[in-house]
Amino acid sequence: MKLIIGIIIVGIVIIFFVFLKRRQDEVEKNFQKRFAGKEIKIMDKYALYVAKQSDGYSHFRGSGYLVLTEDELYFERSVGRKIIKIPIGSIVKAEKTKKLGGQSPGKMMLKVVFRTKDGEQDAIAWKVKELEQWINEISMMVGNSA
């Protein structure tokens, strides 16, 4: 009986990883279409979406593509298909933070402060590789759009 349960668990894990690989391939394909012909300033294929200030304490973390182009900051989560687009012109600043919206993953995160369509200020955070480079690139873009 234990052997059968073990086999079932292993099968479920394998199916889950096959699903994740297929979804990652789908995101990659869509990513290549979406950004064809655009200059990508910086990107992280495994950025971890941590929190959005306006969501309060309710968050669904997830990793995916975070991309900075000449006109937007774009994030697409691999699972759950959450897409976030922030126009460069609405970004106020980029900085480091350890906590946002009650979320504190233990490492410094990229915090992007931006204005919503209603003109309200909001913030969003991701864990990214090369945090300093992200802050510098976004800061240069924000400085150029001002």
**CATH number for 47:** 2.30.29.30
- Phi/psi zone of residue 60: left (φ > 0), alpha (ψ -120 to 50 degrees), beta? beta
Amino acid occupying residue 85: K
Per DSSP bridges, beta strands 40-52 and 62-69 are antiparallel
Phi, then psi, of 101 in degrees rounded to 5: 55, 35
Residue 72 binned pLDDT confidence (cut-offs 50, 70, 90)? very high
What is the structure's pLDDT at 33?
Answer: 76
17, part of any domain? no
103, part of any domain? yes
What is the structure's pLDDT at 75?
Answer: 93
Question: Is pLDDT at 25 greater than 80 in this prediction?
Answer: no
In terms of Cα–Cα distance, which of 103, 101, 105 is closest to 127? 105
79, part of any domain? yes
26, part of any domain? no
Where in the sequence is the domain holding 133, given as residue range(s)? 38-145
Within 8 A by CB and 6+ apart from 33, the residues are none
Mean pLDDT for the chain overall: 85
Dihedral angle over CA of 8, 11, 17, 22, nearest 10: -130
Q: How does pLDDT run across 27-65, given as a tens digit for each residue?
A: 667 766 777 888 889 989 889 988 888 887 666 778 888
- Phi/psi zone of residue 119: left (φ > 0), alpha (ψ -120 to 50 degrees), beta? left
51, part of any domain? yes
> For the chain, how many structural domains are there in total?
1
1, part of any domain? no
82, part of any domain? yes
